[in-house]
Amino acid sequence: MARRNPSSSNGSPAAAPGVSLGLGTARRLAARLPLHLSLIGLAVIWSIPTIALLVSSFRDPTAIAASGWWNAIREPFDLTVGNYQTVLEKQGMARAFVNSVIITVPSTVSVILVAALAAYAFAWMKFPARNLLFLLMVALLVVPVQMTLIPVLRLYTDLTIDAELPVLGGRIFGTSSYAGMWVAHTAYGLPFAIYLLRNFFGSLPRDLFESAYLDGASDLRVFFRIVLPLSMPAISALAIFQFLWVWNDLLVALILLGDPSLAPMTLKITNLVSSFGTNYQVLTAAAFISMALPLVIFFALQRYFVRGILAGAVKG
Amino acid sequence: MVGRRWWTPWLWLAPALALLGVFLVYPVVDTFRRSFLDERSKGFVGLDNYRFIIDNPQPLVSDTHSALLNNVMWLTLFTVVTVSLGLILAVLTGRVRYEAAAKSAIFIPMAVSFVAASVIWRFMYEFNTDIGTVNATVTSLGGESTAWLQNTGAPHTWLTERGPDTLPRPVQINNLALILVGVWMWTGFAMVILSAGLKGISTEVLEAARVDGANEWHIFRRIILPILSPTIVVVATTLVIQGLKKFDLVWVMTGGRFKTDVVATLFYKEAFRIGDFGVGAALAVVLLLWVLPIMVISIRRFQFQEETR
Amino acid sequence: MFRSKRSRLVLILVAITAFAALGLVACEEEEEAEIGTVNVLGIWGDEELVSFEAMADPWETDTGGSMAFTGTRDITTVLTTRVEGGDPPDVAIPAEVGRFQQFAGEGKLTPLSACEGLEDAVRDNYPQGFIDLGTVDGVLYGFFMKADTKGTVWYNPGFFADNGYEPLTVDSTFADLVALSDQILADGTPPWSVGVESGEASGWAGTDWIQQILLNEAGGAVYDGVIDGSIPFTDSRAKDAWEKFGQIALTEGYTVQEGAEGINATNFINSTYPPFESPPEAAMVYLGGFASGFITDQFPDAVAGEDFDFFPFPGGGVTGGANIVYAFNDDETTCSFLNYLASAEAQRVWVGRGGFTSVNSQVSLDSYPDAVSRAQAEQLSGAEVFRFDLDDAIGGALQLAFFDGVTQYLANPDDLDSILSGIEAAR
């Protein structure tokens, strides 16, 4: 049987020695046809709702309520950028975008840091009640956010420092403060983050640590020099999800961020819809505008779980 | 490790424990306390709120039994389908050149906020065949349209006239429709995490197996699955918990109406619409207790992993 | 040695920051009491929000204050959480009165008398009915703005004229409505468009039908009885109202949605479109005054009075709703803003922009931009018998049971008795 290149690095099969290119390639293609068909088919079906949303975002609001989106992709082409204009030109939308970035980026970075420290302890340090503590901590995954908001808000109103934060705006801490949002989002993201990272840290081979400790490395050194770099796939995955969840959050912002000038994009976007729910069509355009940055992050980080970097790194 | 002081682990855990304590543990304790108090959290009512959940005296407004059953369906069906699809896609996309594009297509639903997802799927499930994609497709293929989000009938009734009109709750068309949306959103999540896990499998091992004549299925079963199993457990556990605490999706699409209520939406309705913090808290406690056996199982697997490494 | 230098540096930095922070805080406290920012929590978005901001503009210019609006459709949750959490807004303008009564009862609200001139202004210019609604335990806590009549049956005047149908009047009866429906059906068009889907509140459009019928068939006293509980939902008069609604919604061929499945699945906004399509797909749709906004959104060329108009729900009794305004403190800024909001001068701003009916008697009918909105204001102020929306007035679990009852009744009309006792059990 002809030797094939391992498929995880690139998809093209090497030509088998001695077999003419034409027949060999065709046979290989035929063998992989079901793979391609099922994958592409699945991806297409998966994308239909998204495509529907995309097409709808270019349609007039009255058309959206009158006929299905597939009508727009054939004659007469009734497409318009009006929805996008409405969203982008909405007063304060640019500031809202900046606010979203200010809220989301630090929240993402801090959750990774705090969770990684804790996950390392859970994975590689021994201490009493370790498993019980881990179990209880991850059980917190199920706590609905709404349940926590009243006590947290009460705490924040007590801790409010009514001074303005320079440069960024808002208060230094408490309600209507960016710092309050960072802390809250970090806390809410911790259970999943610790759970995920602990699993990845735990799967690293023991001899790696053993040799490092033997060489006299401290925990901190092992953490920063060995564990973190090797866990980039997991950390990237975590970064993307945390970014997404904070970026798309609405409720925490509504409750803890009372000042409308600090409002993130999600809040500004819901204000485009009337109290009855009319004008919801702008949400189609708003969805894509809001999706832009998270997708950029996804593409930037995807090399960590699309292309392997681990091959060879684990050798002793 | 030699020389590690007894307080070192706690130092590493400190920031996490502090944040979790304030933002999650304290509210949980507070909720637990409220579950024994009345609607305004003023007077002690003992187990009355829990009895409410068990007795289900107001099925018109808060059908607790229906909610519990729906959650069972969510945490089983939703999890199994999402993990399976995520796994299949993680493996398949790793084999093709257009890996990034395929992954992105599956991942985009996760990037879409719940609000936007609800807009999309309202278009999909819209009853009016002029607007609703699913109904339009179905009728053009000769089938019958139906109100996907409002229909509480048995799923098979859509395909055939034979058999009972309704199956025992929660097997309802609208539940399945909602779960489909959940799967659509979360498969990308499963796929991304499982892919990250796949990348940790040394290619040399796979190569060696192929040289030895193993076929792809064999490799999948004997090599990939075992190595990936801790990651699968993490993904599955996260999804089961998602199934348990499902709120946004159901709330935004049906508001829990037409018997699609789950415990989280019921808790929300009780606490914030009806104003009964007692029953709301009791429902939340049910969720918290429900998750414990799941966590025990998954921790057992961690312990197993520890012993074997 | 290196360590101690570093730690000294850190100490100095910390000290500087602390002093700076203290300085900032100290500066804050020296602020004079002047008109500052009023934080308003409301439900409005899109055009409504623009109009409300336009309404606040003159106040901002006059006083130098600023109005910060936080809008959310999920106001009940946000309001409840913020009040319980100790961070209430200055002013709240929600969609229903349930929470208002609860907050007032708990002493969290500021009585209107705490703001100079406010209570008198409201008592002088607002109808007694609305004053009573804003009163809890004898104290006036809130006033109403932005009212909507729910006694409007929308129809297409052109379609009616072309086919010789006569729009009904205040003196018509429910039987006349049925007769008109039969007449239109016989000519080949479904007479009604009915849609009750609305997410978590699905069914409320049906409750509007039922309460309007109840008011006109059984009278104001029975209506009030249902609200305070002296007359249960299982009473024969209440049941009759349901059955009449069922007659419209479920009679074969009456609705373009073709019965229960369609009605439960059709969004209330979309249900206003069929009578105004070309050609019309239905003849009439019953929904409150706000429906005119939906119609003009979907049919931007439609002219009020010519392409769409309403006739009063037969019987003369009118149900309606309004947004209540109340405050959590009596700061100078808050009082100043409230006084302004309650005034005719402020309300005229939004009235002129359309989509707003005022109950302030000082706002004259000429302020309304077109015949249809004028007619709505007239209906509200001139109604012989007026009642506030029934389920809004009761609120809580009963309101939700009422909504759920409607969707269940449509799907299973034979279960009406058990549905009615189920609603009553939620009281």
With bands split at pLDDT 50, 70 and 90, how would you rate the model's confidence at C334? very high
How high does pLDDT run on average in chain A? 83
Domain range for C304? 152-320+389-425
- Subunits with 3+ Cβ pairs within 8 Å of C are A, B
Among residues A187, A206, A203, the alpha carbon closest in space to that of A310 is found at: A203
Establish if C295 touches chain A: CB-CB under 8 angstroms.
no
- Residue range C185-207: mean pLDDT, rounded: 94
Per-residue pLDDT of C219-252, as tens digits, reads: 999 999 999 899 999 999 999 999 999 999 999 9
Percentage helix, strand, coil for chain A under 3-state DSSP, each rounded to 5: 70, 5, 30
Search chain C and give the residue with CA nearest B151: C261
Residue A28 DSSP label:
H
- Give domain status of residue C101, yes or no: yes
Number of domains observed in the structure of chain C: 2
Per-residue pLDDT of A89-121, as tens digits, reads: 888 899 999 999 999 999 999 999 999 999 999
What pLDDT, on the 0 to 100 scale, is given for residue A204? 85
Search chain C and give the residue with CA nearest B126: C265
Residue B155: how many other CB atoms lie within 10 Å: 15
Per-residue pLDDT of C296-330, as tens digits, reads: 999 999 999 999 999 999 998 999 999 999 999 99
SS3 A79: strand
Residue B307: how many other CB atoms lie within 10 Å: 7
With bands split at pLDDT 50, 70 and 90, how would you rate the model's confidence at A122? very high
Determine which of B185-194, B213-222, C45-54, C108-117 has the lowest per-residue pLDDT on average. Answer: B213-222
- Residue range C169-181: mean pLDDT, rounded: 94
Q: Do A153 and C298 touch (CB under 8 A)?
A: no
Cβ-contact C227, C309 below 8 angstroms: no
| Residue pairs spanning A and C at CB distance below 8 A | 110
Domain A90-306 fold is: MetI-like fold (1.10.3720)
Among residues C35, C62, C58, C38, the alpha carbon closest in space to that of C110 is found at: C38
Query: What gap in Å lies between CA C216 and CA C222, rounded to an integer?
Result: 10
SS3 A306: helix
Q: What is B69-255's CATH number?
A: 1.10.3720.10
pLDDT > 70? residue A20: no
- Residue range B201-217: mean pLDDT, rounded: 79
User: Would you state the structure tokens that stand for residue B49, as one six-digit string?
Assistant: 């709120």
Query: C-side interface with B, Cβ within 8 Å?
Result: 76-77, 80-81, 98-99, 102, 197, 199-203, 261-262, 264-266, 270, 396-397, 400-401, 404-405, 407-408, 419, 422-423, 425-426
Establish if B252 touches chain C: CB-CB under 8 angstroms.
yes
Which comes out higher in pLDDT, residue A119 or B100?
A: A119
Establish if B128 touches chain C: CB-CB under 8 angstroms.
yes
With bands split at pLDDT 50, 70 and 90, how would you rate the model's confidence at A148? very high
SS3 A163: strand
Most confident of A178-187, A249-258, A288-297, C7-16: A178-187
Q: Which residue has the tokens 């590493």?
A: B12
- Residue range B176-194: mean pLDDT, rounded: 93
- Residue range C7-25: mean pLDDT, rounded: 59
Give the sign of the dihedral formed by CA C283, CA C286, CA C291, CA C294: negative
What pLDDT, on the 0 to 100 scale, is given for residue C18? 59
- Residue range C344-372: mean pLDDT, rounded: 93
- Give domain status of residue C382, yes or no: no
Among residues B8, B287, C73, B309, the alpha carbon closest in space to that of A139 is found at: B287
Query: What gap in Å lies between CA B197 and CA A283, rounded to an integer?
Result: 35
Across-strand partners of B168? none
Determine which of C16-25, C66-75, C330-339 has the lowest per-residue pLDDT on average. Answer: C16-25
User: Would you state the structure tokens that stand for residue C270, as one six-digit string?
Assistant: 């979309």
pLDDT > 90? residue A185: yes
pLDDT > 80? residue B306: no
Residues C298 and C342 both lie in one domain: no
Residues C326 and C367 both lie in one domain: yes
What pLDDT, on the 0 to 100 scale, is given for residue A266? 92
SS3 A227: helix
What pLDDT, on the 0 to 100 scale, is given for residue C10? 65
**Closest CA–CA distance from residue C350 to any residue of chain B (Å):** 29
Residues C227 and C300 both lie in one domain: yes
Residue A22 DSSP label:
H
Search chain B and give the residue with CA nearest C84: B40
What pLDDT, on the 0 to 100 scale, is given for residue C7? 63
Search chain C and give the residue with CA nearest A64: C298
Per-residue pLDDT of C131-147, as tens digits, reads: 998 999 999 999 999 99
Per-residue pLDDT of B274-283, as tens digits, reads: 889 999 999 9
How high does pLDDT run on average in chain B? 87
The model scores a pTM over 0.95 = no
Burial (CB < 10 A; 0-12, 13-18, 19+), residue C18, is exposed
What pLDDT, on the 0 to 100 scale, is given for residue A306? 55
Q: Which residue has the tokens 């060329």?
A: C301
Find all residues with CB under 8 Å of B86, minimum gap 6, and list them. Answer: B186, B187, B188, B189, B190, B191, B193, B194, B235
- What is the domain partition of chain A in residue ranges? 49-80, 90-306
Query: What gap in Å lies between CA C355 and CA C368, rounded to an integer?
Result: 9
Q: Please, what is the end-to-end C-alpha distance for chain A in angstroms?
A: 32
How high does pLDDT run on average in chain C? 90
Query: What gap in Å lies between CA C289 and CA C147, rounded to an integer?
Result: 9
Please list every residue in chain C whose beta carbon sits closer than 8 Å to the beta carbon of residue A148: none
What pLDDT, on the 0 to 100 scale, is given for residue A7? 39
Residues C157 and C300 both lie in one domain: yes
Residues C114 and C239 both lie in one domain: no
Query: What gap in Å lies between CA C235 and CA C238, rounded to an integer?
Result: 5
What pLDDT, on the 0 to 100 scale, is given for residue B223? 82
Per-residue pLDDT of A223-242, as tens digits, reads: 888 888 888 888 998 999 89
Written in H, E and C, the secondary structure of chain B is CCCCCCCHHHHHHHHHHHHHHHHHHHHHHHHHHHCCECCCCCCECCCHHHHHHHHCCCCCCCCHHHHHHHHHHHHHHHHHHHHHHHHHHHHHHCCCCCHHHHHHHHHHHHHCCHHHHHHHHHHHHCCCCCCCHHHHHHHHCCCCCCCCCCCCCCHHHHCCCCCCCCCCCCCCHHHHHHHHHHHHHHHHHHHHHHHHHHCCCCHHHHHHHHHCCCCHHHHHHHHHHHHHHHHHHHHHHHHHHHHHHCCHHHHHHCCCCCCCCCHHHHHHHHHHHHCCHHHHHHHHHHHHHHHHHHHHHHHHHHHHHHHHC
pLDDT > 50? residue C365: yes
Residues C194 and C255 both lie in one domain: yes
CATH number of the domain that residue C400 is part of:
3.40.190.10
Buried (b) or exposed (e) across B177-209, using 16+ Cβ within 10 A?
A: bbbbbbbbbbbbbbbbbbbbbbbbbbbeebeeb
Q: In this predicted complex, what is the ipTM? A: 0.87
Cβ-contact C202, C196 below 8 angstroms: yes
Instruction: Closest CB to A275: pick one of C45, C89, C267.
Output: C45
What pLDDT, on the 0 to 100 scale, is given for residue B153? 83
Residues C226 and C274 both lie in one domain: yes
User: Would you state the structure tokens that stand for residue C159, as one six-digit string?
Assistant: 């379609």
pLDDT > 80? residue C16: no
Residues C328 and C368 both lie in one domain: yes
Burial (CB < 10 A; 0-12, 13-18, 19+), residue B15, is middle
Query: What gap in Å lies between CA C174 and CA C212, rounded to an integer?
Result: 11
What pLDDT, on the 0 to 100 scale, is given for residue B305? 65
Which comes out higher in pLDDT, residue A80 or A5?
A: A80
Put residue A204 in one of left, alpha, beta given phi > 0 → left and psi -120 to 50 → alpha.
Answer: beta
Residues found in chain A: 316
- Give domain status of residue C95, yes or no: yes
Q: Which residue has the tokens 């939703």?
A: B78
- Subunits with 3+ Cβ pairs within 8 Å of A are B, C
- Give domain status of residue C19, yes or no: no
pLDDT > 70? residue B113: yes
Cβ-contact B124, B136 below 8 angstroms: no
Cβ-contact A218, A139 below 8 angstroms: no
Residues C310 and C325 both lie in one domain: no
CA C149 to chain centre: 9
Search chain C and give the residue with CA nearest A251: C78
For an interface test with C, give the residue of A145, A271, A282 to mutate (most C CBs within 10 A): A271
- Give domain status of residue C240, yes or no: yes
Q: Which residue has the tokens 């793979």?
A: A35
Establish if C288 touches chain A: CB-CB under 8 angstroms.
no
Across-strand partners of C84? none
- Give domain status of residue C4, yes or no: no
User: Would you state the structure tokens that stand for residue A291, as one six-digit string?
Assistant: 């999706």
Cβ-contact A233, B198 below 8 angstroms: no
Residues C248 and C145 both lie in one domain: no
Q: For a pLDDT cut of 90, what percent of chain A falls above it?
A: 33
Q: Please, what is the end-to-end C-alpha distance for chain B in angstroms?
A: 16
What pLDDT, on the 0 to 100 scale, is given for residue B7? 86
Among residues B108, B44, B118, B95, the alpha carbon closest in space to that of B219 is found at: B95
Q: Which residue has the tokens 């006694």?
A: C151
Establish if C71 touches chain A: CB-CB under 8 angstroms.
yes
User: Would you state the structure tokens that stand for residue C405, as one six-digit string?
Assistant: 């009852």
Query: What gap in Å lies between CA B198 and CA B215, rounded to an integer?
Result: 18
Encoded amino acid at C218, one letter:
A
Residues C62 and C137 both lie in one domain: yes
pLDDT > 80? residue C292: yes
**Phi first, then psi: what are they for C324, rounded to 5°?**
-90, 145
Residues C94 and C216 both lie in one domain: no
With bands split at pLDDT 50, 70 and 90, how would you rate the model's confidence at B130? confident
**Phi first, then psi: what are they for C94, rounded to 5°?**
-85, -175
Establish if B139 touches chain A: CB-CB under 8 angstroms.
no
Containing A37, the helix (H) or strand (E) segment is helix A21-57
What pLDDT, on the 0 to 100 scale, is given for residue A19? 44
Query: What gap in Å lies between CA C351 and CA C366, rounded to an integer?
Result: 10
Cβ-contact B115, A250 below 8 angstroms: yes
Q: For a pLDDT cut of 70, what percent of chain B falls above it?
A: 95
Give the sign of the dihedral formed by CA A181, CA A186, CA A188, CA A189: positive
Q: Do C264 and B61 touch (CB under 8 A)?
A: no
Instruction: Closest CB to C43: pick one of A62, A164, A275.
Output: A275
User: Would you state the structure tokens that stand for residue A140, as one six-digit string?
Assistant: 């917190």
